[in-house]
Amino acid sequence: QQQVKQSPQSLIVQKGGISIINCAYENTAFDYFPWYQQFPGKGPALLIAIRPDVSEKKEGRFTISFNKSAKQFSLHIMDSQPGDSATYFCAASSGPGSARQLTFGSGTQLTVLP
């Protein structure tokens, strides 16, 4: 199974609140889990990433939590700001060196209200 399932499809959060986006996967061969942020009219940009030997990674207000046994990982945005309003994609990477590729979730449209 190469699919990565992402939820929710859309999320509305008040300014200052916590935004949480969840992803689940089946393929245990995945060994790298990035999150991408996409603003309207722009391509996705790498936001933060984690490897499965780590349970949590934090960069500023963004934190990835990773549960290897449950095959789930999530993005937490603390103190959410209107400027965080964007579409967020989780992804997972697998494959031997020459065939490595990313499998993306379907995206979550985040709106942070002022």
Partner 1 sequence: ETGVTQTPRHLVMGMTNKKSLKCEQHLGHNAMYWYKQSAKKPLELMFVYNFKEQTENNSVPSRFSPECPNSSHLFLHLHTLQPEDSALYLCASSQDRRQGREQYFGPGTRLTVT
Half-sphere exposure of 113 (CA within 13 A, CB side): 4
Q: Following CA atoms 42, 71, 64, 100 in sequence, which dihedral angle do they give, to the nearest 10 degrees?
A: -50
Residue 75 CB-density burial (10 A; 0-12 exposed, 13-18 middle, 19+ buried): buried
Binding residue (CB under 8 A) for partner 1 from 1, 43, 53, 83: 43
Among the listed ranges 19-27, 60-68, 70-78, 94-102, the one in contact with partner 1 (CB under 8 A) is 94-102
Kindly state whether residue 1 participates in binding partner 1, applying the rule CB under 8 A. Answer: no
Of 15 and 42, nearer to partner 1 (C-beta) is: 42
Residue 4 binds to partner 1 (criterion: CB under 8 A): yes
Residues that bind partner 1 (CB under 8 A): 4, 9, 32, 34, 36, 41-46, 49, 89, 93, 97-107
